[in-house]
């Protein structure tokens, strides 16, 4: 810390000091005293600016505890909770019906993946208990149906699907325990061998955009942003119903955004990026849309199926 400036007093040389005579009123009660007080006040003011203020807690030696960080629920820039129904406005032929065997158009697959596509056998998947292979985290948002988003706790967002009856958990503050057992909280029967599951381990965070009242900097601040979710540790599955594969080493990155729905209501846009060095030559990117519903009266849970 730099030394604080000190005012320099020019003293009179010896012999030139004024000594009041007996009976003469002291000048310290007049102009000289006033000048000295002004000089002292100025010195204290400069010193206070140069010296950092210190806070002395009542309990000496005890550091002040930092304020707790707001929870993910309390700091959410957007509200994703509620019931949403899929709006199938693209890839209808791949989403509403089971595509023909060998049809992988639009998916940048490797030669190894092509072999799996050509050998796809839905009956064999049913027998092996793999009828949920097209309902994993990399593909579930493309399955037509409804989703229900709720807060499981202050730092965990849950997403349920009626198609396939899947449960996804988006953890904002993964603890060491949740990293060791990423399937904690997933209903029994949906966890497969090796500790992995169809929905994997999802870590979430909020992405925030600028504040302002409807684009007006002078307006009151408004919350806006999106949800980012990264999912790993998944069971190998299908990107499409007809056996287009992704491996257990795939990485899924999703962005959840909310926008006004044309004609009224809310639209949820989920952008999904699947990266898989084994079965994809480049990232596979799709965008899925959902319209918000007033309630869950149309919720219709149905089990996984290898074909429709």
Does residue 233 lie in a domain region?
A: yes
Does residue 76 lie in a domain region?
A: no
Q: Tokens representing 64?
A: 């002040």
Does residue 308 lie in a domain region?
A: no
Does residue 4 lie in a domain region?
A: no
- CB-based contacts of 295: which residues, under 8 Å, 6+ apart? 83
Does residue 241 lie in a domain region?
A: yes
Please state the length of the chain.
308
Report percent pLDDT > 90 for the chain: 64
**For residue 59, what pLDDT is reported?**
55
Over residues 92-99, mean pLDDT:
95
Q: Tokens representing 155?
A: 């730092």
Domain that holds residue 206: 82-293
The whole-angstrom separation of Cα 77 and Cα 282 is: 32
The whole-angstrom separation of Cα 239 and Cα 143 is: 10
Does residue 8 lie in a domain region?
A: no
Quote the longest CA-to-CA distance of the chain.
122
**For residue 115, what pLDDT is reported?**
98
pLDDT, tens only, 44-74 = 344 444 444 444 445 566 677 787 889 999 9
Say if residues 86 and 288 touch (Cβ distance below 8 Å): yes
Does residue 86 lie in a domain region?
A: yes
pLDDT, tens only, 184-227 = 444 444 444 457 999 999 999 999 986 544 445 555 455 689 99
Which one-letter DSSP state was computed for residue 198? S
Does residue 158 lie in a domain region?
A: yes
Residue 180 has pLDDT above 50, yes or no: no
Helices (H) and strands (E) in the chain, counts: 5, 11
Q: Tokens representing 204?
A: 């979430």
Q: How many independent structural domains does the chain possess? A: 1
Which one-letter DSSP state was computed for residue 118? H
The whole-angstrom separation of Cα 137 and Cα 235 is: 9
């Amino acid at each position: 810390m730099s030394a604080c400036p000190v005012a320099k007093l020019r003293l009179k040389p010896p012999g030139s000091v004024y000594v009041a005579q007996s009976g003469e009123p002291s000048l310290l009660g007049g102009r000289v005293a006033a000048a000295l007080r002004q000089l002292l006040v100025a010195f204290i003011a400069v010193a206070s600016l140069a010296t950092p203020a210190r806070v002395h807690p009542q309990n000496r030696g005890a550091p002040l505890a930092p304020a707790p960080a707001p929870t993910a629920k309390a700091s959410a820039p957007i509200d994703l909770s509620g019931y949403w129904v899929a709006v199938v406005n693209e890839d209808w032929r791949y989403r509403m019906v089971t595509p023909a065997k060998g049809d992988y158009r639009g998916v940048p697959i490797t030669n190894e993946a092509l072999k799996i596509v050509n050998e796809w056998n839905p009956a064999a998947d049913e027998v092996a208990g793999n009828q949920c292979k097209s309902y994993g985290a990399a593909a579930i948002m493309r399955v037509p149906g409804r989703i229900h988003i709720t807060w499981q706790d202050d730092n965990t967002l849950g997403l349920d699907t009626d198609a396939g009856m899947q449960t996804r958990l988006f953890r904002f503050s993964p603890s060491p325990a949740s990293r060791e057992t990423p399937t904690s909280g997933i209903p029994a029967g949906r966890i497969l061998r090796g500790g992995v599951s169809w929905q994997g381990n999802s870590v979430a965070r909020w992405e925030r955009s600028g504040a302002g009242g409807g684009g007006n900097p002078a307006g009151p601040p408004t919350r806006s942003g999106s949800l980012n979710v990264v999912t790993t540790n998944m069971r190998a599955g299908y990107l499409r119903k007809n056996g287009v594969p992704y491996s257990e080493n795939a990485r899924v990155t999703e962005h959840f955004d909310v926008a006004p729905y044309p004609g009224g209501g809310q639209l949820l846009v989920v952008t999904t990026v699947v990266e898989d060095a084994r079965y994809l030559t480049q990232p596979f990117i799709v965008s899925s849309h959902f319209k918000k519903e007033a309630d869950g009266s149309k919720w219709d849970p149905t089990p996984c199926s290898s074909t429709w």
